[in-house]
Each structure stands twice: as structure tokens, then as C-alpha cells.
């Protein structure tokens, strides 16, 4: 058996460990200024996501959507928008993710703007505090409330969950229970191409693992994924948390998203990432953020939903070269064609 075949067989054995999968909807839109991301979970479900996962062999349990129960008149704190609603929703998300992981072993969270990751990372850290986080995104999303120009929390989630940034995050109403839970050395970015100046300052100050589209152009997606994994999981043993913002892809592939940036990952590159991470057998948690069905026309929405579902399926075992079914063999003909020729 050659090395490539051995790798595929090893990966198939490992991939079987996540066939039991819980799905949690995180319909949050208040982390940014555009309505519509709260409809992302519905459109992904209606687009056939759960059926696709079942078809490739996943035992899927749908946990439904987190009930955010929004607070009226959530006034900005300084310039940070909707602080109480995001804090409350993050804690509810964390509880649901923790329950899903402890019950099913693996969780797929579909959103929802990227503020959803505050809750998913907190919930995941309760189960696997040593996890490795791969943040696949055009944006770094590590602004603090003091460095953000917009005040939109979907650009800040990593600052709220990282221990090292706690001294840089001011007190905000409703946030007492939202506490940091991972270290910056547990995070690696892939696909960056729109990083704010003070975010770059944070990345440089803490010598973080940040791989941009420039790095991908220079080294290729295989080498970048290898470098990212080695940076956050050098021994190859940690549970992996993937936080996938659909704007990581070039906007031609996912036009219905709120902050598109040209020059992004191709579907081919994203499928490679997903398929290789599936082969590790260590994927515990995946976030899918920033699908916004309110943006673009029906064709844009359809392309975005179909592409997103296709990528998700690659994380859970669908491979471009195909996978032979287990427990079955090639059917043999009851009457062979040569016997008919001889009879004539």
C-alpha cells in the first residue's frame, strides 16, 4: 500500500470518530450593522445541509437555534453596539455548545455573524480547554472595544476570549460572566487580507500565528495549512476548533455576506483545507459565520448557500476523489454477458 493510500485509509478510520454530530443554530445579527445574518441558519438548513451531512454518513442531531431573547433598548456602551444582547446571547450559545459537545462529541454551529464565536469558543473551552483554533477569515476579528472604529462586536470576538488581551478590554454592562478561556498561542489565522492597523499591532505585539493571502500566494495552501497546524498543535493531538467566516472565500463564491473582500480563497483551496482537516480526525467544533441571505439577489443567495454547504460537507468526510461505501461490494451480474454470447 503506497503512502497516499495509507493516509487516506488512516483518515477514514479517524473520520469515523466524528460521525455523531450535533448542529446548533446561532441566529445572531446584532454583532454588526446589517440585518439578515440571523436568517443564515434557516437558509442553510432549507438548502439541504442536514440531508447532505446524513448522506455522507453523519448521524446528525439538530439542536435547533439558540434563543437569544433580545433585550429592547440595548444602548451602546461608549461606541460598542448591542453589548448586553451579545453578552447574553454568547452565554446561551456557550451552554448549548457545551451540551452538544458533551452529548454528541462533535458540534457544528451555523450562524449568524461572527460574534457567535465568543459563545462557541467559551462553550468548547469548557470541554476541551487545550483546543487549537483555526480562524479562516478575511478579517482578524481581534479588535478590542478600544481599538474598533465601528463598534461592531463581530470584529472583536477573539479579544474577549484571549487571556492575554484581558487587560486591554474595558468593563461593559452584562459582560461579567464572559471570561477569557484560551491563550493567543492556541489561535492561527488563514486567509487574512483586511486587517485593521491596531489589529496588526496586536498580532505583532504577541507574535501571533497569522497567515495572509500573501502568504498563501507565496507558499501555497498546503504549506500554509501545515504551518498553521504546527503552530497551534505541534504534537498533532489537540481537538481542533475551526471558525469559518464565509468571507474568507473570494466574493465571487460567497457574494451574500456583509464584508466581502476581493482576492480571497478559491473554493478549491477551501475544499483542500476542509478535506485535510477531516483527515486529522481531531475536528471537534466548526463555526460557520456571516451567511447573509438579505444581501444580493436570489442567485447570489443560492450561490452562497450552495458553496457554504459544499465546504461544510468536505469538513465531514465528502472528498473530491469520492469515497467507496463500507459494508458493500461491487454487485455481480446474475447472467454474464459472455454466457449470452456463447448461447447464441
Which amino acids are annotated as binding site for Mn(2+), given as ranges?
114, 137, 139, 141, 245, 247
In the chain the first and final C-alpha atoms are separated, in Å, by 43
Show the cell assigned to 72.
429592547
* Residue 313 DSSP SS3: helix
3-class secondary-structure state, position 63: strand
Distance of CA 204 to the CA centre of its chain: 24
Residue (of 103, 121, 136, 104) closest to 26 by Cα position: 121
| Contact predicate 274/310, CB 8 Å | no
Measured at the CA of 182, the angle between CA 178 and CA 187, to 5 degrees, comes to 125
Query: Which of 142, 167, 168, 146 is CA-nearest to residue 155?
Result: 142
Q: Which residues carry a binding-site annotation?
A: 114, 137, 139, 141, 245, 247
- The C-alpha atoms of residue 222 and residue 211 are separated, in whole angstroms, by 12
294's enclosing H/E stretch is: none
Cβ atoms 201, 168 nearer than 8 A: no
How far does CA 116 lie from the centroid of its chain?
A: 10
Amino acid at each position: 500500500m503506497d503512502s497516499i493510500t495509507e493516509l487516506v485509509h488512516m483518515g477514514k478510520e479517524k473520520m469515523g470518530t466524528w460521525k455523531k454530530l450535533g448542529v446548533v443554530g446561532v441566529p445572531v445579527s446584532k454583532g454588526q450593522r446589517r440585518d439578515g445574518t440571523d436568517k443564515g441558519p434557516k437558509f442553510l438548513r432549507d438548502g439541504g445541509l442536514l440531508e447532505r451531512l446524513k448522506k455522507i454518513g453523519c448521524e446528525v442531531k439538530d439542536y435547533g437555534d439558540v434563543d437569544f431573547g433580545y433585550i429592547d433598548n440595548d444602548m451602546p456602551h461608549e461606541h460598542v453596539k448591542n453589548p448586553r444582547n451579545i453578552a447574553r446571547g454568547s452565554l446561551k450559545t456557550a451552554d448549548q455548545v457545551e451540551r452538544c459537545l458533551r452529548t454528541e462529541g462533535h458540534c457544528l454551529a451555523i450562524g449568524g455573524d461572527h460574534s457567535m464565536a465568543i459563545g462557541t469558543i467559551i462553550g468548547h473551552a469548557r470541554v476541551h480547554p487545550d483546543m487549537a483554533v483555526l480562524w479562516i477569515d478575511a478579517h482578524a476579528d481581534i479588535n478590542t472595544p478600544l481599538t474598533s472604529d465601528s463598534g461592531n462586536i463581530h470584529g472583536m470576538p477573539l479579544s474577549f476570549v484571549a487571556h492575554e488581551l484581558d487587560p486591554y478590554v474595558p468593563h461593559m454592562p452584562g459582560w461579567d460572566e464572559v471570561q477569557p478561556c484560551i491563550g493567543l498561542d492556541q489561535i492561527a489565522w488563514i486567509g487574512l487580507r483586511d486587517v485593521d492597523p491596531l489589529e496588526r499591532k496586536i498580532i505583532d505585539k504577541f507574535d501571533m500565528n497569522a497567515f495572509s493571502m500573501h502568504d498563501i500566494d507565496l507558499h501555497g495552501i498546503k504549506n500554509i495549512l501545515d504551518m498553521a497546524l504546527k503552530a497551534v498543535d505541534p504534537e498533532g493531538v489537540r481537538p481542533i476548533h475551526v471558525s469559518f467566516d464565509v468571507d474568507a472565500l473570494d466574493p465571487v463564491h460567497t457574494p451574500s455576506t456583509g464584508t466581502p473582500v476581493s482576492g480571497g480563497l478559491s473554493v478549491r483551496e477551501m475544499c483542500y483545507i476542509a478535506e485535510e482537516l477531516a483527515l486529522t480526525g481531531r475536528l471537534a467544533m466548526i463555526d460557520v459565520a456571516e451567511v447573509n441571505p438579505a444581501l444580493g439577489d436570489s442567485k447570489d443567495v443560492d450561490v452562497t448557500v450552495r458553496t457554504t454547504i459544499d465546504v461544510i460537507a468536505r469538513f465531514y468526510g465528502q472528498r473530491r476523489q469520492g469515497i467507496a461505501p463500507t459494508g458493500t461490494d461491487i454487485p455481480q451480474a446474475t447472467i454474464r454477458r459472455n454466457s449470452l454470447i456463447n448461447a447464441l
